[in-house]
Chains A and B, each alone.
Chain A
Amino acid sequence: MMQRLFALLNSAVTLHLAWIWRISVRFPRMVLLGTLLLLFPALWSVSTTRFEFDIFRLFPAEKGALRLFLDSLEWTGSGQEAFFVLEGEKKELVPAATEFAGKLSALKVDGRPAFKKVTWRTVDPAEAQSFAAFVGYAVTRPELFLTPGDLAALKERFTPQGMDEALGRATTELAGQGGMMSRELIARDPLGLRELILPRLRQGSRTLDLDSSSPYFLSRDGRVLVIIAEPARPVQEMAFARKLVAAINQARSGSPVHISCAGAHLSAVIDEASMKGNIVSCIVSSLIVVLGIFYFTYRRLLPTLLIPVIIFCGAFLALGTAGLFLSSIHIISFAFTALIIGLGTDYSIHIYDRFYCERAAGADAREALRLAITHTGHGVFTAAVTTAVPFLALTISHVRALFELGLLVGVGVLFSLYATYFFLPPLLIFIERRFPLAVYRPLPTFGLGRLWDGCTRFRRGITVGTILLVLLLLAAATRLGFEGDLKKLQPRESEAMLTQEKIERHLNLSPKSLMVAVEGTDLDEVLNRGAKADLLAERYRRRGELVAWSSLGQIINGPQRQREMTTQLATLLGGSDPSGKLHLALERNGFDPLPFAPALAGIAAFADSRINGAEEAVKRLSASPLKGVVERHLVKHDGVWRLLSHLAYRGEEFHRDRFLGELAVEVPGARVTGIDLVGEQLALSVRQSFGWSFLLGGILVMLLLMSHFGSGGGILASLFPVFAGGIAMLGLMVLTGMKINFMNSMVVVTILGMGSDYGLHIFHRAGSIGPKQRENFIQAGRSVFLSALTTVAGFGSLAFTDYGAMSSIGWATNYGVIATALFSLASLPALLALRGSSRKPDKPEPNRKVLSRTSENQIGRG
């Protein structure tokens, strides 16, 4: 049943190819017209498609750590901020920062301010009034801002001696050059209770390892100063981002210190330029190399010039087709279309090589062309479909990276194949008429004859050696690690990336962090649940597993804590009158109590056992210079409060999974994110999608090979090199210090699709034992060798790009393609020779006319 179905399929393919040959030779103008009819709608489709540069958009982000991570960037606005890192001597940094911050504040894009806000000092005198107002509010609400541990110090402040000391300090401050700001603070907080509150605020907002004695965002080593600026418009507006970066470059030119930038705007612009530059240089250079290889081998100009046309049609129609399904295409997915350069050339190589060989053997032009299209073309057809199918199988994935890659390359391969089928025959007919060759000189063999001789002579040794080598590389491959750090996939020389690294190196509290989100519509309830998460975090900090943590709960108390505090406060005061005591102390120390009336009234309310609403406290904090603490830890979005706690840890000493388990029990519904968690989520989603796609693609390839060969030998010959090549690729990655990542894992599909072609072609031509086996091997081997070379030139050249993701793809491709080609050209002949030595020689290859009648047998079964 299956055999009959496969035979039917083979017949259909043969008829299809014969039809293409007839149409392309007889009606070249119709071919041209049909091509244009396809290209015009593709042009429209491509022109309406935009390119994405954000690496996170390559992965599913509907839920999990990545969703929370992306949401938090939007909620807190930190995804939009620009960071400027100034490096130099400490004495130079501050004046340079003053000047540069002034320039940034004055910067305009399209006649409007470029930044909403430029922050470069931890202390801003312009915010002194609002700070004093907040202090006045906070010091009269100890139940809201103090911890139970602070109550003893608070009690001490209200003893006669404590009050006299505090007022003495106030007098000293007044005697200095404190001016009006000092007087405002003393009037609102005569006892200096802010000294109990401010350390808690400092702790609650501690996110960077700064020099605490400096009023600037200065690193402890004094060599790095950070300025933060909030651009006026969102990062998605690339036109604005480009102008902003240009304006920033102008503003920092001539600075006495080195200024580098990071942040979404800059990263987007630089990454865009970097990626475009990489891809364009890769495409141009690889095209030149590929055309050079083709011309060097065949010495024919017009077929060489046809290759870019075929590649363009393949890539452009693939993009146009993808544009029908997608509104945007990620630049990394687009980079994979570079594969079409190599693959599109392969089909021309195989068909033209056969045509040339047939002409050299004495066939006339039409017969040589018919054999090339319908016979070798059949092998090329199967090879192209086995390449396209694994890629197209990726479109079942819900991971955008895999879907786009699969669609673009799968469709691109098929369009390239058909462009070759339709364009090459009329061109060859035209060349034969206008520029006929007097003599078809032998083509370069690239030493393949000697290779065949050696491999067949030492077949046992090579087979054993191959097995040992594959086992060795397999052992190495088992140690292959996964690279989940997305930063390593970004451009290595990107200024934004390098600047981010500087910030992490000089200013980060710890190398790793987690963010816990507790959500709800009632803020008080959210704060109460958040307090449980805080308690858990504190337990881990005390055990030394966390370096630090910060939360709004560290700054203001929730209702439950406030109730405990008011009870303790009432006990502490014991019915005394703190306001009255302070009034007397003020009199005693020469102060006029009248300006202190608001402070005295606030202190009189200590004994009221009041519970402050959290929203009021948040509002007061937000109106003060401390609003950054609120913005970092609390967000109201779509009517839902999100309380965000930030946990800093170093590495393995933090038992993260245990923490997550305990958090799920103690604070049900709390969500967690962090770079590691995001990496793990992405790895899992890629692995799942990839697994299904790989399985589906593998089954389809097997069916195609079974259909094509109808025997185990051909299937084995096709799959052995690719499996050995795949193992070699993974093993070599380990030996050269590489890891598998979200991007280069896709190369496995590439190798599966392309690599099976190499064995397939060798088995076609050299699988049959006979007098022409060596000659056929040289012809097929030359095509395979050139295919591998053009693929390495076309896609493997990505290895030398600056973009980490593309570079890893390039190296993995190079390892995989070169290893598969070597196993096809060296190990497969040895295996064929071993098989041949145990069998009788096959019948001699039929003559041309017989061959033309039994095309399917000759080509399909070698």
Chain B
Amino acid sequence: MNRNKFFSVSLSLRGSVVVLLFFSLFGIATIAAADPLSPLEGLELLRRGFAGMTDFTADITQEKELSLLKKKLTSTGRVRFRRPGTFFMEISPPYPSRLLLENSDLTVFYPAQKSHQKIPLPAEEGLGKWFTYLDKPITALPQGVLMQAERQGENCTLKIQPQGKQGVRELTLFFRDDGRIRKIVIEEQNGDRNSITFRTMKKNVGLTEKEFRLE
């Protein structure tokens, strides 16, 4: 019986990063924010923004500062989401790649090499858990993370710090008080940093299957 792993895998993605990234995109709806903003209220803003939404699309600009590279790696692309649990992210040339997350199955496609990599994320890192979490009003902060929220005028900031010693050190969400996300910054334990800025977000545009095709 074949029990070997990673035969077709030369790259693995941190599922938690993707899920947090996805989670941060919920708040695109127009929702009035409370003042002052507590972490719980910040999360609830995002949750309510997600309520009533069937899909969304947005263009992104990504800036990565990695220890392996001497200079910042800047790329553009787009993200798409459709209920119940399909997330798509495309990075445009010169570094083309496409990512599809369906529940806890993650597939990455590199058009230049025409190669696929499939990675099953642990069930707890799949989208299902987050849907369950967001189905009802948030009355308590998630366990295992520290959270801080700030508000300056119409701009809000929510910092999420997972308590683990590996992976993500801090995730910062920048969004308007109407719930519209402006930017996400992910910092990792080794100092690597990823900043994603969102533009031209549209929700409930009726995305179809073909918008989620990898090839």
Q: Which residues of A are interface residues toward B (Cβ below 8 A)?
A: 78, 81, 83, 94-95, 98-99, 102, 119, 121-128, 131, 169, 171-183, 185-187, 192, 194-195, 198, 201-202, 205-208, 210, 212-217, 226, 228, 590-592, 595-596, 625-626, 628-629, 631-632
Question: A621's closest neighbor in chain B, by CB?
Answer: B4
Contact partner of B116 (CB less than 8 A), chosen from A208, A213, A228, is: A213
A198 near B7 with CB under 8 A, answer: yes
Interface residue from B1, B68, B123 paired with A186 (Cβ < 8 Å): B68
Shortest Cβ distance from residue A91 to the other chain B in the assembled complex, whole angstroms? 9
Q: Determine the chain A residues whose CB is within 8 A of the CB of B192 once the complex forms.
A: 180, 183
For A194, the chain B residues whose CB sits under 8 A away are 10
Whether A215 touches B120, Cβ cut-off 8 Å, given contacts A98-B104, A175-B73, A595-B68, is yes
A-B contact pairs, 24 of them (CB 8 A): A94-B103, A122-B2, A122-B7, A131-B9, A172-B97, A174-B95, A175-B73, A175-B91, A178-B11, A178-B13, A179-B167, A180-B166, A181-B11, A182-B13, A183-B68, A185-B12, A201-B7, A215-B120, A226-B1, A591-B69, A592-B69, A595-B67, A625-B6, A628-B2
Instruction: Give B residues with C-beta under 8 Å from A.
Output: 1-15, 17-18, 21, 62, 64, 66-71, 73, 75, 89, 91, 95-97, 99, 103-105, 108, 110, 112-113, 116, 118-123, 166-167, 188, 190, 192
Q: Are B2 and A210 in contact (CB under 8 A)?
A: yes
Given A172-B112, A173-B97, A590-B70: A182 touches B11 (CB 8 Å cut-off): yes
Whether B2 contacts A207 by the Cβ 8 Å rule is yes
A177 in contact with B89 given A121-B120, A192-B10, A214-B118 (CB within 8 Å): yes
> When the two chains form the complex, which single residue of A99, A186, A215 contacts B119, counting CB atoms closer than 8 Å?
A215
> B residues within 8 A CB of A180?
14, 166-167, 188, 190, 192
A residues less than 8 Å from B62 (CB atoms): 175
Q: Which residues of A contact B103 (CB under 8 A)?
A: 94-95
Give Cα distance in the complex from A666 to B6, angstroms.
35
Chain B positions within 8 Å of A590 at CB level: 69-71
Contact yes or no, A216 B97, CB < 8 A:
no
Given contacts A169-B113, A175-B75, A180-B188, contact A213 B69 (CB under 8 A): no
Q: 5 nearest interchain CB pairs?
A: A179-B14, A628-B3, A175-B95, A181-B12, A625-B5
Residues of A within 8 A of B116 (CB): 213
The chain A residue with its CB closest to the CB of B14 is: A179
List the A side residues contacting B95 at CB < 8 Å.
171-172, 174-176
Q: What A residues does B97 contact at CB under 8 A?
A: 172-173, 175-176
> Cβ of A214: which chain B residues have Cβ within 8 Å of it?
118
Q: Is the CB of B1 within 8 A of A83?
A: yes
A46 to B69, CA, bound (A): 77
The residue in chain B whose Cβ has the minimal distance to the Cβ of A203 is B7
Q: Which residues of A contact B5 (CB under 8 A)?
A: 121-124, 127, 131, 625-626, 628
Quick check: A206 and B2 within 8 Å, CB to CB? yes
Would you call B69 and A174 a contact (CB within 8 A)? yes
B18's contact among A131, A177, A212, by CB below 8 Å, is which? A177
Q: Could you tell me the distance between the alpha carbons of A668 and B71 in the complex, rounded to whole angstroms?
A: 61
Instruction: Determine how close the nearest CB of chain A comes to the CB of B162; give it in whole angstroms.
Output: 13
Task: Name the residue of chain B whose CB is nearest to the CB of A122.
Answer: B5
Interface contact A626-B73, CB-CB below 8 Å: no
Distance between Cα atoms of A3 and B18 in the complex (Å) = 98
Cβ contact within 8 Å between A216 and B112: no
In Å, the complex CA distance between A126 and B14 comes to 10
**B99 interface neighbour in A176, A183, A195, A207, Cβ under 8 Å:** A176
Nearest Cβ in chain B — how far from A320, in angstroms?
A: 43
Residues of B within 8 A of A119 (CB): 3
A192 to B166 CA separation, bound complex (whole angstroms):
25
Q: Contacting A126 at CB < 8 Å: which of B1, B17, B108, B122?
A: B122
Name the residue of chain B whose CB is nearest to the CB of A117: B3
Whole-angstrom CA separation of A78 from B119 in the bound complex: 26
Q: Which of A98, A183, A215, A228 contacts B123 (CB 8 A)?
A: A98
- B16 to chain A: closest CB distance in Å? 8
Bound form: Cα–Cα A126–B70 in Å:
29
Closest to A228 in B: B1
Q: Which residues of A contact B13 (CB under 8 A)?
A: 176-179, 181-182
Indicate if the CB atoms of B18 and A629 lie closer than 8 Å: no
A84 to chain B, nearest CB (A): 12
Q: Kindly name the residue among A121, A175, A201, A226 whose own CB sees the greatest number of chain B CB atoms within 10 A.
A: A175
